[in-house]
Amino acid sequence: MCGIVGAIAERNVVPILLEGLQRLEYRGYDSAGLVVVENARLKRLRSTGRVAELMQISKGTEGNIGIAHTRWATHGIPSERNAHPHISRDLIAVVHNGIIENYESLRDGLVKAGYEFTSDTDTEVIAHLVHSHYAKGMTLLKAVQATLKELVGAYAIGVIAADNPDRLISARRGSPLLLGVGIGENFVASDVSALLPVTNRVVYLEEGDLVELDRQGYRIYDAEGNEVARPVQTSEISNESVQLGNYRHYMQKEIHEQPEAIANTLETACNSHSIMPGIFGAEAESCLSRIDGILILACGTSYHAGLVARYWLEEISGLHCTVEIASEYRYRKSVPNPNALVVVLSQSGETADTQAALSHAKSLGHVHTLAICNVPESALVRQSKLRFLTRAGPEIGVASTKAFTTQLVALFLLTLVLAKQRNHLTAESEHLHALRHLPAAVQKVLDLEPKIARLAEKFASKHHALFLGRGLHYPIALEGALKLKEISYIHAEAYPAGELKHGPLALVDKDMPVISVAPNDALLEKLKSNLHEVRARGGELYVFADADTHMNEEEGVHIMRMPEHAGYLSPILHTIPLQLLAYYVALQKGTDVDKPRNLAKSVTVE
């Protein structure tokens, strides 16, 4: 999704801006641009291609103040005229992440005042508003402050003026932004990774903050305009660029990294013979003992992890659990249970809807909050009382893989901690043993890769697919369908297998592949009956079964045997072949696996 980088220095900032943008590429974007002050004029360069193209056209451009942006279209199609930065009357340049909700009325007013719009974006109103105030003699700082008062919506912005090469103004509300502190130079960015080549000393700006940067220093103002101090932190995120190695795509690499990612996630939690609440933070023991229910909030793949966890939490810990899609929960008039633990699940920790859902929960009186996240310094981690960091390492592929399976590990640990506190936990050592065995078990499933690659050949010509699962594995069917649709663009739906005869069975014919997750659990016989219903209608079945599931290959029934059954942890193992299937179908179809069309890695707008 959109990314911002800004810099003010003694040296030429163009390489810093471009490298920063390149480091934000994984988030997904459809155009990129930058602007610097060169000989007292704004020099803007924009491209609808990759950042590499922007690099080509930027050769020879120099400036020691500039702002840059990768855009993921919200208002207006991806095009050069809609790419940021946006400029007002050759004087003010702006980059913006987020959405300005009242841009239409602001635009009408600005048009009446004589401003000419050259894009379809909501952002352009910001440039003209700043200009309108600046032209009246306000300082750049005051002009931006006055502008922000007029905006409704979410934003992180960077602003510079052609006639003032010594000031860069940046502000945030609802979108992430941080300041990078250098020596004789300072920076802003929407994601710390963009700044790591130049500094690891960062200040995370708070909601409503505005910062004025010059080369020697910076001043931060809160939403009321009072100058405030915010702590400078040393980022622990590694500057090592993520290498693809021998893999063809990041997604393939990340699927293969799962044994290590799971082992790393378990490392701090699971080395002893028992499991302690402290793994969720210093206050976890007292906080978790006071709760009487769980509310999980998340989006997309992270939401699917929450759905699996509901089965674990209710069955093993005996606590009531609800799982809600964050974008729905934030606007729903719900009846809160302030004694429930609110768990926000997120790979990025930046997802706008999940952040808003957490704020909404707090506004309803929830005080017990836990973030399970893969990015240590992310907003959700900072906003939650308790935290658990999945140690999957940077996930670059847009389709989430290792973040999902490590979230499941974290949620299983949470289940065990809660069950133990409530004296519900039997067989703790067996559970811990199963967890420790998990990386090896995942590795064995990965060995199925060549078989799954062959299976995928049968899907490339299909337009639709149906995924079925039951119980703990129904969310895995949902996740399998999401993976397939997002990277191969094949329309895929998932159903609890028992629902088939209540409607979707009507879709089944010889052209509809039906993929079923069939572990050897208590619901297997029920599932088999559902699969007979499919076969009887001519549907082609692809069954991911455990080794001891008694099902045989026959005409129209393809069985893929999983090496072992993992009991409660089976959903983690059964996810792997579905990730691989989606990956190899996408390869067959020749799609852009790591950057599927229309999608972004971090969804920082609503």
Residues labelled as active-site residues: 2, 601
The values of phi and psi at residue 325, to 5°, are -70, 125
Q: Which residue of 123, 170, 175, 346 would you call a contact of ligand F6R, by CB under 6 A? A: 346
- Are residues 541 and 571 in contact, defined by beta-carbon separation less than 8 angstroms? no
Cβ nearer to ligand F6R, comparing 115 with 204: 204
Stretch that binds ligand F6R, among 82-90, 182-190, 297-305, 546-554 (CB under 6 A): 297-305
Cβ nearer to ligand F6R, comparing 300 with 539: 300
Residues contacting 280, CB < 8 A, separation 6+: 288, 370, 386, 387, 388, 414, 417
Element (H, E) at 142: helix 140-150
Q: Is 400 in the site for ligand F6R (CB under 6 A)?
A: yes
Stretch that binds ligand F6R, among 203-211, 296-304, 381-389, 582-590 (CB under 6 A): 296-304
Binders of ligand F6R in range 131-190 (CB under 6 A): none
Q: Is 347 in the site for ligand F6R (CB under 6 A)?
A: yes
Cβ nearer to ligand F6R, comparing 1 with 83: 1
- CB of residue 392 to ligand F6R, shortest distance in Å: 11
What burial class does residue 46 get, using C-beta atoms within 10 Å of its C-beta: 0-12 exposed, 13-18 middle, 19+ buried?
Answer: buried
How many residues belong to the site for ligand F6R (CB under 6 A)? Answer: 14
Stretch that binds ligand F6R, among 20-28, 142-150, 345-353, 415-423 (CB under 6 A): 345-353
| Residue 462 backbone zone (phi > 0: left; psi -120 to 50: alpha; other: beta) | beta
- CB of residue 370 to ligand F6R, shortest distance in Å: 15
Cβ nearer to ligand F6R, comparing 25 with 486: 486
Cβ nearer to ligand F6R, comparing 22 with 400: 400
How far is 435 from 413, CA to CA, in rounded Å? 9
Q: Is 70 in the site for ligand F6R (CB under 6 A)?
A: no
Which of 132, 89, 87 minimizes the C-alpha distance to 110? Answer: 132
Query: 7: which strand partners?
Result: 66, 187
- CB of residue 481 to ligand F6R, shortest distance in Å: 11
Q: Which residue of 124, 185, 257, 486 would you call a contact of ligand F6R, by CB under 6 A? A: 486
Q: Whose CB is nearest to ligand F6R?
A: 300
- CB of residue 578 to ligand F6R, shortest distance in Å: 12
How far is 426 from 432, CA to CA, in rounded Å? 11
Binders of ligand F6R in range 299-318 (CB under 6 A): 299-302
Q: Is 351 in the site for ligand F6R (CB under 6 A)?
A: yes
Q: Is 399 in the site for ligand F6R (CB under 6 A)?
A: yes
How far is 503 from 491, CA to CA, in rounded Å? 17
* DSSP state string for 184-235: S-EEEESSGGGTTTT-SEEEEPPTT-EEEE-SS-EEEE-TTS-EE----EE-
How far is 274 from 174, CA to CA, in rounded Å? 40
Which of 41, 31, 80 minimizes the C-alpha distance to 61? Answer: 41
Radius of gyration (C-alpha) of the chain in whole angstroms: 26
Binders of ligand F6R in range 502-541 (CB under 6 A): none
Which of 520, 252, 573 minimizes the C-alpha distance to 399? Answer: 252
- DSSP SS3 for 33: strand
Cβ nearer to ligand F6R, comparing 518 with 582: 582
Cβ nearer to ligand F6R, comparing 213 with 356: 356
Which residues are at the interface with ligand F6R (CB under 6 A)?
Answer: 299-302, 346-348, 351, 354, 399-400, 482, 486, 603
